């Protein structure tokens, strides 16, 4: 099923939802995709500097894994196409105007925004406001 590409329709139907869990971004040097599967990452990316995993904060704390901050995930429940133009820019611009950093990750069906946990509720309200 193809996702929506019309920016106006995407912005009208964002349906942002805040995940109650906190996540952290961790990096592991000289590792490959699949390492640390027991941490049950919700996202991973392999960079020349190392393997980045996004994992629940409680798992990192339990294992003594270092991280720089705790993040909350806001999922945009509109089914966006991977070829849609402007959604990421519109969302990140709105949050940037309110001094909220946005770390975007696209899944096949939805886009997910990781914001500092201290700003999660404010970010959610902004995204629900329709001021995009």
Q: pLDDT-derived band of residue 1, with 50, 70 and 90 as boundaries? A: low
Instruction: Kindly state the helix (H) or strand (E) to which residue 8 belongs, with its residue range.
Output: helix 7-12
**In the predicted structure, residue 68 carries a pLDDT above the cut 80:** yes
Could you tell me the CA-to-CA distances from 47 to 26, 52, 69, 118 in Å, in that order?
12, 7, 20, 28
What CA–CA distance (Å, rounded) separates 116 from 72? 6
Reported as a single tens digit per residue, the pLDDT across 80-102 is 998 999 999 999 999 999 999 99
Yes or no: say if 117 and 72 are a contact pair by the CB < 8 Å rule: yes
Averaged pLDDT for residues 56-83 = 96
Record the pTM: 0.92
Instruction: Kindly state the helix (H) or strand (E) to which residue 51 belongs, with its residue range.
Output: strand 50-56
High-pLDDT (> 70) share of the chain, %:
99
What are the structural domains, with CATH classification, of the chain?
7-128 (3.30.2130.10)
118 forms bridges with which residues in the sheet? none
């Amino acid at each position: 099923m193809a996702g929506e590409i019309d920016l106006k329709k995407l912005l009208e139907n964002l349906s942002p939802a805040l995940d109650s869990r906190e996540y952290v971004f961790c990096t592991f040097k000289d590792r490959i995709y699949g390492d640390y599967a027991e941490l049950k990452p919700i996202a991973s990316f392999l960079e020349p500097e190392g393997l980045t995993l996004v994992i629940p904060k409680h798992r990192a704390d339990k294992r003594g894994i270092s991280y720089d901050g705790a993040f909350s995930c806001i999922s945009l429940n509109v089914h966006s196409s991977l070829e849609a133009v402007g959604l990421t820019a519109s969302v990140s611009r709105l949050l940037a105007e309110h001094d909220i950093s946005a770390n975007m990750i696209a899944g096949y069906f939805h886009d997910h925004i990781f914001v500092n946990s201290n700003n999660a509720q404010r970010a959610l309200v902004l995204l629900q406001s329709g001021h995009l």
